Chains A and B, each alone.
Chain A
Amino acid sequence: EVQLVESGGDLVKPGGSLRLSCAASGFTFSTYNMNWVRQAPGKGLEWVSSISTNSSYIYYADSVKGRFTISRDNAKNSLYLQMNSLRAEDTAVYYCARSADDNFDSWGQGTLVTVSS
């Protein structure tokens, strides 16, 4: 069974940093592109970032470019999101999602990031 488990969400002050992790199991992690998708409270879904299998290709939404860094460790079956210079508008549940033909076919349960003073 595919499992994606996010962790690292917390309350952080504006301008602060946070690192999210996603532990994958139940599939061959190194053969799938991976993504972060977020959802602000009461709002819709927003794609944040994607990373290819060997980290050769990385993409970001304009809203996070220059502040967030996606990475992965295939040996540890883990995906990461380093978030710097956090803003109130980054407050959201952050989901780790597996790509299958550019769709998100498996999702984690999400981790809540709250940016507030």
Chain B
Amino acid sequence: DIQMTQSPSSVSASVGDRVTITCRASQGISSWLAWYQQKPGKAPKLLIYAASSLQNGVPSRFSGRGSGTDFTLTISSLQPEDFATYYCQQANSFPYTFGRGTKLEIK
């Protein structure tokens, strides 16, 4: 199985800050990577697919980069509604696997 390692597990930041979350796959997954945002008590929401493609309706302050084993999600200027938990997920092969999540908290 492909293991997905996310870092950091949590981060504190302020409105307006730039934040980057990293996800590393245990083997190459080309660009088969997605990022999700989840708020407490809610279902996850797809933000980024194919490593760098923005899902319809997602603000342009979110961006994704990477290929192979190393990927990043960047939020260019944090807004109050961005404080949530973020997960990466590999879609290269079954079993699909998620990272353990990064909780983005208000400083």
Contact = CB atoms under 8 A, between A and B. Distances in A.
Contacts of A108: 43
Contacts of B91: 101-103
A103 B34 contact: yes
A35 B46 CA distance: 14
B5 interface: no
Size category of the A interface is: 20 to 34
Give the interface SS of chain B, mostly helix, strand, loop or mixed. loop
A45 interface: yes
Interface residues of B, number: 23
Nearest to A100: B49
Nearest to B49: A103
Per DSSP, are chain A's interface residues mostly helix, strand or loop, or mixed?
Answer: strand
Interface of A: 35, 37, 44-47, 50, 59, 61-62, 95, 100-110
Contacts of A103: 34, 46, 49-50, 89, 91
Nearest to B44: A107
Contacts of A61: 95
B8 to A, nearest CB: 15
A104 B32 contact: no
B96 A102 contact: yes
